[in-house]
A = this chain, B = another copy of it.
Amino acid sequence: MGKKKELEARIDRLKAKVRALKGKLGESAPAKAPATPSKAKNPISPLAPAAFPALPVIEGVAFAAAAAGVRYAGRTDVMLARIAPGASLAGVFTTSATRAACVLDCQAKLADTVDESAGAAILVNSGNANAFTGAAGQASVDAVTTAVADALGLPANRVFSSSTGVIGEPLPHERIVAAVPGLVDALDAEGMEAAARAIMTTDTFPKGASAEVETEGGVIHLAGIAKGSGMIAPNMATMLVYIFTDAKISAKLLQKMLSRQVDDTFNAITVDSDTSTSDALILAATGKSPAAEITDLRSKVAKDFEAALRGVMMDLAHQVVRDGEGATKFVEVRVSGAETVADAHKVAMAVANSPLVKTAIAGEDANWGRVVAAVGKSGAKADRDTLRISFGEMVLAEKGARVPDYSEEAASAYMKGQELVIGVDLGLGAAAKSVFTCDLTHRYIDINADYRS
């Protein structure tokens, strides 16, 4: 029963494999090593959005991008954002014990008591992470942020920097410093897309998202950009996110909203389980909207604003996964029925990070047994006999065994989709958590086996 269809499906899968191998062979055999890595050789992710979105201008913020030659040739690799006086800032950063000098610097500056009447600026370079570079690393941060502060007339403790690229190589900060005057001259309220392009490393598309909040006093706008693919971009200098809004809100409230929304958005994505030394997310609110100041987290406008912020964060987080190195499938691992959210998170991450689950997805193999095994190894409380595994709306296994009407054809057909939902219900409680990931393909190994060439 269904045996012929199963065989045909298998032949289809094998044919697809052969096509993929042939395609890869064609694209990975350069006659000689190129002198400079070219981004053009990195095909755009099949999961990319159709186009970069139209982002609203955020009053009080201007952007510029330039080609400073940090590492890449023939493309922009630094971006500057100037934020008007009176803005509130908030940030979240990698928890890595070996985090980069610029991350430590941002954290120290955000913890400072600041003169809110001053403006602020953010300077980001791609091509070099300035991580594990010792005292020279901090000196580079100082050189870059001081140059920007001087050029814009800002206190140095209001200039934030990020670096993304190779770890352990000294940052040629003099090239960035040399680019600062040009960046300042080019500042443009409509320069956000150019900024998004300048911070890319192996990203295959620039990432942006926006939202609007209607209030009685007027509209609040939000717009953000991101680079990287969670923990998967080469050199580990991975996720950088900058979100801007014209809302009027204190730094304290802004930080509170940001911190509590990061768990379900950026902390809920994984490409390859490798955490960066450089992850940084900075949120700036200029207060230029005519809307009234947000002062009470329980007010309708605060809730609407926080929902819009969450939406922008989730959108950018998903785009990071959609640009996961080598990704061909976007996967939500939706865990429910856990005793605690921590347990739900453990299970979701164990499934999303399992190389065996991720290679099965790449092969369009409905191998739900590997999901069971990942649940088992997660360390969370789980009971084989209350566990339910589903793909999309289709329940595959429950009460400790495969469902009686299990259909290999139906499960295999589901796996051919580009957007997949793997459901795990632990049957123990009411806590839930979704995590977003992609598959593990040959291209991931192509990109990472020799990234420094």
Contact = CB atoms under 8 A, between A and B. Distances in A.
Interface of A: 7, 10-11, 13-14, 17-18, 21-22, 24-25, 28-30, 32-33, 94, 96-99, 129, 131-137, 166-170, 234-236, 272-277, 353-356, 359-360, 362-365, 367-370, 372-378, 380-385, 387, 397, 399-402, 440-442, 444-446, 448-453
Contact of A377 (B275, B354, B399): B275
Nearest to A359: B448
Contact of A400 (B11, B134, B382): B134
Contacts of A382: 97-98
A316 to B, nearest CB: 21
A288 B296 CA distance: 80
Contacts of A384: 97-99, 132
Given A369-B167, A376-B97, A450-B363, A355 B14 contact: no
B167 A372 contact: yes
A236 B94 CA distance: 32
A132 B381 contact: no
Contact of A98 (B24, B359, B373): B373
B98 A132 contact: no
A274 B135 CA distance: 39
A402 B169 contact: yes
Q: Please tell me how many copies of the chain the complex holds.
A: 2
B96 A377 contact: yes
18 contacts: A21-B24, A25-B25, A96-B377, A97-B384, A133-B401, A134-B400, A137-B401, A234-B356, A235-B369, A273-B353, A274-B354, A274-B355, A277-B373, A355-B444, A359-B448, A360-B448, A441-B445, A441-B449
A452 B367 CA distance: 8
Given A132-B401, A377-B96, A445-B441, A18 B14 contact: no
A69 to B, nearest CB: 17
A372 B133 CA distance: 11
A355 B98 contact: no
Contacts of A448: 355-356, 359-360, 363
Contacts of A136: 401
A410 to B, nearest CB: 15
Nearest to A134: B401
A373 B453 contact: no
A364 B452 CA distance: 11
B449 A365 contact: yes
Nearest to A19: B29
Given A132-B372, A234-B356, A272-B355, 10 more contacts: A13-B450, A129-B369, A134-B400, A168-B401, A169-B402, A236-B370, A236-B373, A359-B444, A365-B451, A442-B442
Contacts of A94: 376
A131 B253 CA distance: 50
A374 B132 contact: no
Given A275-B377, A448-B360, A449-B362, A17 B21 contact: no
A74 to B, nearest CB: 19
Contact of A372 (B168, B355, B440): B168
Contacts of A273: 273, 353-355
Contacts of A22: 25, 29
A370 B167 contact: yes
Nearest to A12: B33
A37 to B, nearest CB: 11
A168 B7 contact: no
